[in-house]
Every structure is written in structure tokens, then in C-alpha cells.
A and B are shown apart, each in its own frame.
Chain A
Amino acid sequence: MSATLTEPDAAPRTPTTRPPRPPKGSSAGARKKKPLPWAPWALLGPSIALLIVMVVYPTIVMFITSFTNLEIKNKMLGTAPDFVGFDNYLEIFTDSQFPQVLARSLGLMVVLTVLIVVFGMLIGLTLTKLSKAWRLAVSIALLFAWAMPPLAATVVWGWMFDTDYGVVNWALNTITGTQDWRGHGWLENPWSFMMVLVIIVTWQSIPFAAITFYAGLGQVPDEVIEASSLDGASAWQRFRLIILPYMRNVITAVLVLETIWNLRIFTQVYSLQQQGGLASETNVLPTYLFRQGIGEFGTTAAIGVFMMILLMSISYFNVRNSLKDEEEL
């Protein structure tokens, strides 16, 4: 992905660094005209078409819809919706729930991203120290967690935390030797709900971070590490001053991806809300969007536009920094 993004930036500089071309007309000169530009375009065409159909067009439609009062009725009866200006945006921003939903979403995103990156890095580092057989076993275990469909995983986690028949309550009762945890509803309290949610999402997201970091750790040259340890650098110093700088691009990429994924998290929240808890006190932006009235396309599109702007502004600096780094290399 990043390679394609840098292409236009990098292109203008290349001619100056290249050796001058041989003068025209020599050896195979007659056939070596300036190559027609159709080949790259033909290769790029399908992906550009896909992007236009699947990203650009829906985005434009969403943007337009957010300024209308489009309803299912309009679609079924073939009538045009009215343009309502910023009414939809006003409706969201003045909704009493919205500030809480936004704060909850951002808070959840920060907590999840930090946990995933920290634990992902720890497991990635552990993988480098393991023997081959163990490394294989741990990698497979990680991939299983990652490969499981989030909906199925959340339902199973929900059962484990079930109020009446959950294994968590049973285990806590057994460990403490009491009946204090009988009928304890883990999802009733919004904070407790969020804790369960964080466990589920972190559990499922760590494998991606861990395996990516492990791949990145392979790029750190052994001789530099060895030299630094001979110079008396402690493990923490080696990590902070050598491994981290080498891994900066990988970490940035994981951070950006996790930030985006964690802010638009839907499946786990929605499915857990089906199993218990209060939706109005546990909604994040995507579930809040989904729970607007049936077919209220205007309001939902406005929330969508807001989320898009939010995500773009959060990712902007990270993406720009990583692009800069690549240019410098």
C-alpha cells in the first residue's frame, strides 16, 4: 500500500539521479521511442475502477445523502429526497447521547490500541527467543485466535461471562469457595461491559500485531545488537535505542491500522449488546450509527461523514510521517 502511495512523490526525483541516457539513434535507437503510457494504465485500470466503484462512489453518495432527508419511502416510491442543509449534522451534535458516544469511542480506541501494541510487541519479542518448535506452536495458536470470525468469538466469550451458566462465575465461585459470584451480571454495569469487550477485542487483535512485529524484528541486524551488548547496553537500552528506531515504520503502520480498526469496531460491541448490558450506555460510534431509526439514511450518513473526517485527521500525521521516512531512505 505505502509503495503505491509514494510513487508520485518519488517519480520527479528519479531523472536527476539516473545516469544520462545514451543519445538517440545509436544501436537499437530506431525502435526505442518513448514508450506508450498505455501499459501502466492498463495494469492500473482495474484497481482504479475498483477503487472508484467501491470507495469513491459510495463516499460521494454518503456525503450527498448526509445533507438530505432520504428515507426508504423515497426509494420505494421513486421520489427525490429534500435537501435539508446541515439539519442532520445539527441533530447529531445536539443529541444528548452523542458526546458520551464519542468519548467512549475515543477512550476505547486508546485503551485497545495501547494494549494491543504493547502486548503484541512483548509476544513478538518472545517469539524471537523461542526454539523453532515452540515458535511454530505459538504462531499457530495466535493465528487461530486471529482467524476466528469475530461474531462467533464474541458469542462464545459472551457465554463464558453468562450471568447464570457462565464458566467465569463458576470458576470464581470455585476459587473463592463461596457463592458470591452466583448470578453476577458481567455486562450490566457499563464499565464491566467495557472490560469484557476489551478482553475480547485485545485477545483477537494481538496476533496480527505480534506476527507483524515479529517479522519486523527480523530486520534488526544482529551485529548491531551484539555490538551494543558488548558495549554494555542493557536489554531495555537495546530495545529503546536500537530495536525501536529500526522498527519505526512497522510500528507506525500497526498503530495507524489499529487506530482505525479500533475506532470503527462494530461486530464485537453489537453482538455483546445482544447478550446483555444497556445499549444506550455502551454504544460506540458505529453501533450508535447502526441504532439510528430504520432507514434514516440522512442522519446515519452524517455520522459516517463525521467518522471519516475523524479517522482521516487521526491517521493524517502518522501516514505523513511514515511517507516522509520512506522518502528519506
Chain B
Amino acid sequence: MRKLGIVALGAAAALTLAGCSTGGGDNGSADGGEITVWVVGTDTPKEARAYLKDTFESENKGWTLNVEEKTWADVSDTYAAALQSNDSPDVVEVGNTQTASFADQGLFLPLDDFDSSAYLPGLVDSATYDGELYAAPYYAGGRIVFYSPEVLGDTALPTTLDEYVATGEARKTDTVSGIWAPGRDWYNALPYVWEHGGFIAEQEGDEWKAGFSSEGGIEGLTQLQQVYLKASNAPKDGDETDPQVPFCAGEVLFLSAPAWVQWSITAPADAEAPGCPDTYGKDLQAFPLPGGTAGETAPIFAGGSNIAVATKSANPEQARAALDIMAGEGYQKLLAEGGLTPGLTAAASSLPDTPIAKAQATALENSKVTPTTPKWAEVEASQIIQEALVKIAQGGDVPTIAADLDKQIEEILNS
């Protein structure tokens, strides 16, 4: 008994101490403090992170700024938990499709006096909720098709989506994927649905109607199933992370991925996540996913991020200052140099003049977004689209799976 008491006393003391220490750090005053910025994934270039820290700290004497890197898997539960806590980060990057949902839950502060006219309209729309702007456009990104001339050989580049699938099928061997298509990579599945006239969900009056089981949706998903079954060796239940691994093994002909994946592929061989700058990544090329007729592109998913100030930020004023730097021209140009389409339209002139950057710009001209409703984030978090695609990749019956999926999407959007 006595021992238990001592243990308990010790535990209580430890808890009290821990409680004290968390209180101390983040409290700022006018003289100084700490601002925490969360960026997602590795795509924000190192130069931009350093620029943000230096600029902020020189403009705000006595303040320090920390950039922390999260993963896209964190941007639902981890974010929701952190943003409502008293230990909330101050500025966060969030996916364009998720912004409205976070704003709806009251987790972001509205950005007063932010002139959004100079930014990409698509991203501004995604950051606007109930007529108010809750986030600043960060960057946009589209998926393009990478290939290595060494693997391609004499094969001609496809000019239509059907040719693309046919080439992928023809070039698939036991070890080489004609098209790298892991089952859970749903962003890459959307162009097939859209190109054939299908849709994710549309509003009819007050009701949302999902369109994976529409005629075009089923056509698109059937073509996609052909890719999964006959053109790809990727894991049927795999996701889109680390596509440079099979690519650098020479096991992929066509890799449809965000433009920044070029940096993963060309990363030095001694990097923490090595690429293959001397072999398959040497003459890396890319083209926009072709559409129904030659010369056209297929509609791709307009990915991207926004940046917002957390409602629970201890120092909203300084957080806003940090956000303004990230949305400013100097920072946005650094994003552009890293191959990301900057949210600030004027910074696009800094995009590198490479075939990859051009391919992305062309691809983004024909792009679509997910349904604009705060409920959409719930559809993404529930992973129902990914799961339906895995079942299709495993050879399931497309119309049945599509109908089930639509039912689940409608249940969430109309709840």
C-alpha cells in the first residue's frame, strides 16, 4: 500500500510538472514569443521554409518561427484535435478540398482585409465559406505523366486516353508496369471518370447526387479497371506515396503523379530518400494526360493547398504576419521555382522553363475540383472512394461497386 502511495505521489508530481512546462512555452507577449507553422508533405521547398523563418524573425524582433512538417494523413483527425486544443499551431497548410470543412467547424479565423483578387480563382473559391475568406491560396498542383526515355524506347507517346491505356497494356511485363496505378490513388482515378462524362457529385436542388454510377462514370471506371488489371503491377491496395521507388527501379513506363515528384525522382543517391538522378531519372520527361481526341488533355484533379490562421492561435496577429509572408510575392516565387504553381498569379513567371513545368501548366488548364461543400472532407476522411477503387482493382463488378459508392457518398453529403 505504502509503495502504491509513493508511486501515486510521484505520478501526481510528474503530471503537475508536465502541466507547468506546457504552459510556459507558447505564451507570447508584445515583446516576443513563438509562432508554429504546419506545412504538409515534403513539397514546400527548403529555400521557402528558410525564407519564411528569416523574413518573419527579422520583421518581428524577439519572435521565433518554427516550421513543422505534417503528412497528408494528418490533415483530418490530427488537425481537428490540434486546432481545437489550447496548444494549437498558429498557421496551417490545409488541402483545398478540406478548407471549407475546417472553416465550418470554426477552426480558422476569417482573413479580414486580404486582397484575394491577385490569386488563383479556383483556390480562392475553395477557401471561401459563407461569403468570407478563411484561408489564403498557397499553391496549386496537377498530376502529369512522367516517363523515362530509357524505358520508353521506340514506343510512340500516346495522343489519346485510349492510346495511353493501350500502350500501358502493351508494354506491361511481369516486372514493368505500363501504367503505375495503385488502387488507393483516387486522384489519378478521377480523370477516367471525368473524361467519359461521369462526375463525383452534383447538386440537384437541395440534394446531392453522386455520379460514379452514371453512364459516363461506369465507362470511366471500367477503363480504369482495365488499367489496374492489365497495365499495372502496383499493389491493388497500395497508395500513391513514394512512387519514385518503382520508377527508379526501372519498373514503370508511365507514372502519373504531382509535378513535385520530379524532385523525389531526381534526389541525390545519398539523400535520406534517394532518387535516381544518374539512371532512370536522368532525362526525366513528362506530358499532360491525353484526353478523348488527339491534341486535347483529360480533365485532371486540381489539387492544391491553402494556408489559414488557427482560431485558437495564441498570437493571431503574428500568425497573420507569417501568413502574409507565405502569401507574398517573395515566398510564392520560391514555391514557383520549386515547380509548384503558385497561388499568387504574378509569381507564376518564376516557374522554371522546363518541359515538366510546361506539361503541368497545360494539364492544369483543364482541371476540376471536388464538390464544394463542408461535408466533402468527411467523404475523404471516410476513405470510401479509395476502398471502392481497391475493389475495382481486385476485379470486382464495376456497376455494383459504383452504385454502392454513390449511395455512401449521397448519405454523407445529404446528412
Could you tell me the distance between the alpha carbons of A294 and B380 in the complex, rounded to whole angstroms? 11
Could you tell me the distance between the alpha carbons of A77 and B9 in the complex, rounded to whole angstroms? 37
- Please state if B382 and A276 are interface contacts (CB–CB under 8 Å): no
Contact with A along B1-24 (1 / 0, CB 8 A): 110110111011001000000000
Q: What B residues does A276 contact at CB under 8 A?
A: 235, 237-238
Of the stretches A40-48, A226-234, A258-266, the one at the interface is A40-48
Could you tell me the distance between the alpha carbons of A220 and B73 in the complex, rounded to whole angstroms? 51
Residues 369-389 of B at the A interface (beta carbon under 8 Å): 377-378, 381-384, 387
| Cβ 8 A contact of B238, one of A47, A163, A280 | A163
- Please state if B236 and A188 are interface contacts (CB–CB under 8 Å): yes
Contact with B along A274-317 (1 / 0, CB 8 A): 10111110000000001101110000000000000000000000
Q: Is the interface of B mostly helix, strand, loop or mixed?
A: helix
- Please state if B237 and A72 are interface contacts (CB–CB under 8 Å): no
Could you tell me the distance between the alpha carbons of A40 and B80 in the complex, rounded to whole angstroms? 43
Q: Does residue A148 face the partner (Cβ distance < 8 Å to B)?
A: no
Q: Does residue A21 face the partner (Cβ distance < 8 Å to B)?
A: no
Q: Does residue A164 face the partner (Cβ distance < 8 Å to B)?
A: yes
Q: What A residues does B158 contact at CB under 8 A?
A: none
Could you tell me the distance between the alpha carbons of A46 and B12 in the complex, rounded to whole angstroms? 7
Query: Within the complex, what minimum Cβ distance (angstroms) separates A160 from chain B?
Result: 14
- Please state if B11 and A50 are interface contacts (CB–CB under 8 Å): yes
Query: Within the complex, what minimum Cβ distance (angstroms) separates A116 from chain B?
Result: 27
Contact with A along B97-117 (1 / 0, CB 8 A): 000010011110000000000
Of the stretches A30-38, A82-90, A177-185, A235-243, the one at the interface is A177-185
- Please state if A279 and B383 are interface contacts (CB–CB under 8 Å): yes
Q: Considering residues B2, B105, B107, B233, which has the most beta carbons from chain A within 10 angstroms of its beta carbon?
A: B105
Q: Does residue B345 face the partner (Cβ distance < 8 Å to A)?
A: no
Q: Does residue B77 face the partner (Cβ distance < 8 Å to A)?
A: yes
Query: Within the complex, what minimum Cβ distance (angstroms) separates B411 from chain A?
Result: 11
- Please state if A75 and B235 are interface contacts (CB–CB under 8 Å): no
Could you tell me the distance between the alpha carbons of A290 and B78 in the complex, rounded to whole angstroms? 12
- Please state if B390 and A163 are interface contacts (CB–CB under 8 Å): no
- Please state if B311 and A76 are interface contacts (CB–CB under 8 Å): yes
Could you tell me the distance between the alpha carbons of A75 and B311 in the complex, rounded to whole angstroms? 12
Q: What B residues does A324 contact at CB under 8 A?
A: none
- Please state if B235 and A291 are interface contacts (CB–CB under 8 Å): no
| Cβ 8 A contact of A4, one of B4, B174, B233, B311 | B4
- Please state if B107 and A72 are interface contacts (CB–CB under 8 Å): yes
Residues 283-332 of B at the A interface (beta carbon under 8 Å): 311-312
Residues 84-105 of A at the B interface (beta carbon under 8 Å): none
Q: Does residue A73 face the partner (Cβ distance < 8 Å to B)?
A: yes
- Please state if B235 and A163 are interface contacts (CB–CB under 8 Å): yes
Q: What B residues does A73 contact at CB under 8 A?
A: 104-106
Could you tell me the distance between the alpha carbons of A187 and B2 in the complex, rounded to whole angstroms? 49
Q: Does residue B216 face the partner (Cβ distance < 8 Å to A)?
A: no
A73-B104, A183-B233, A276-B235 given; A50·B383 CB < 8 A: no
Query: Within the complex, what minimum Cβ distance (angstroms) separates B245 from chain A?
Result: 8
Query: Within the complex, what minimum Cβ distance (angstroms) separates A115 from chain B?
Result: 25
Q: Considering residues B238, B311, B391, which has the most beta carbons from chain A within 10 angstroms of its beta carbon?
A: B238
Q: What A residues does B7 contact at CB under 8 A?
A: 47
- Please state if A294 and B377 are interface contacts (CB–CB under 8 Å): yes
Q: What B residues does A165 contact at CB under 8 A?
A: 245
Q: Does residue A49 face the partner (Cβ distance < 8 Å to B)?
A: yes
Interface size grouping (class) on chain B: 35 or more
Contact with B along A131-175 (1 / 0, CB 8 A): 000000000000000000000000000000001110000000000
Q: What A residues does B84 contact at CB under 8 A?
A: 72, 75-76
A72-B105, A73-B104, A179-B174 given; A188·B394 CB < 8 A: yes
Query: Within the complex, what minimum Cβ distance (angstroms) separates B85 from chain A?
Result: 10
Could you tell me the distance between the alpha carbons of A47 and B1 in the complex, rounded to whole angstroms? 11
Q: What B residues does A290 contact at CB under 8 A?
A: 77
Could you tell me the distance between the alpha carbons of A71 and B387 in the complex, rounded to whole angstroms? 26
A274-B73, A280-B387 given; A164·B233 CB < 8 A: yes
Query: Within the complex, what minimum Cβ distance (angstroms) separates A317 from chain B?
Result: 26
Q: What A residues does B9 contact at CB under 8 A?
A: 46
Residues 223-251 of B at the A interface (beta carbon under 8 Å): 233-238, 245-246
Query: Within the complex, what minimum Cβ distance (angstroms) separates B228 from chain A?
Result: 12
| Cβ 8 A contact of A293, one of B106, B233, B378 | B378
- Please state if A185 and B235 are interface contacts (CB–CB under 8 Å): yes
Q: What B residues does A3 contact at CB under 8 A?
A: 1
- Please state if A278 and B387 are interface contacts (CB–CB under 8 Å): yes
**Closest A residue, CB atoms, query B107:** A76
Q: What A residues does B381 contact at CB under 8 A?
A: 293-294
- Please state if B235 and A49 are interface contacts (CB–CB under 8 Å): no
Query: Within the complex, what minimum Cβ distance (angstroms) separates B332 from chain A?
Result: 30
| Cβ 8 A contact of B174, one of A44, A50, A182 | A182
Q: Considering residues A164, A187, A280, which has the most beta carbons from chain B within 10 angstroms of its beta carbon?
A: A164
Q: What A residues does B387 contact at CB under 8 A?
A: 278-280
Query: Within the complex, what minimum Cβ distance (angstroms) separates A195 from chain B?
Result: 15
Contact with A along B393-407 (1 / 0, CB 8 A): 010000000000000
Q: Does residue B350 face the partner (Cβ distance < 8 Å to A)?
A: no
Q: Considering residues A75, A165, A187, A188, which has the most beta carbons from chain B within 10 angstroms of its beta carbon?
A: A188
- Please state if B246 and A164 are interface contacts (CB–CB under 8 Å): yes
Could you tell me the distance between the alpha carbons of A188 and B312 in the complex, rounded to whole angstroms? 41
A76-B311, A77-B106, A293-B381 given; A185·B236 CB < 8 A: yes
List 9 additional A-B contacts (Cβ < 8 Å) besides A47-B4, A278-B387, A294-B77. A4-B1, A44-B5, A76-B105, A179-B174, A188-B390, A188-B394, A293-B382, A293-B412, A294-B381
Q: Could you jot down 27 A-B contacts, CB within 8 Å?
A: A3-B1, A4-B1, A46-B8, A47-B7, A49-B12, A72-B84, A73-B105, A76-B105, A76-B312, A163-B238, A164-B234, A164-B235, A165-B245, A179-B174, A182-B174, A183-B233, A185-B235, A277-B237, A278-B390, A278-B391, A279-B387, A280-B387, A293-B378, A294-B77, A294-B377, A294-B378, A295-B105
Give the 4 A-B CB pairs with smallest separation, nearest first: A76-B106, A47-B8, A43-B5, A163-B235
Give chain B's interface residues, CB within 8 Å of chain A: 1-2, 4-5, 7-9, 11-12, 15, 73, 76-77, 80, 84, 101, 104-107, 174, 233-238, 245-246, 311-312, 377-378, 381-384, 387, 390-391, 394, 412
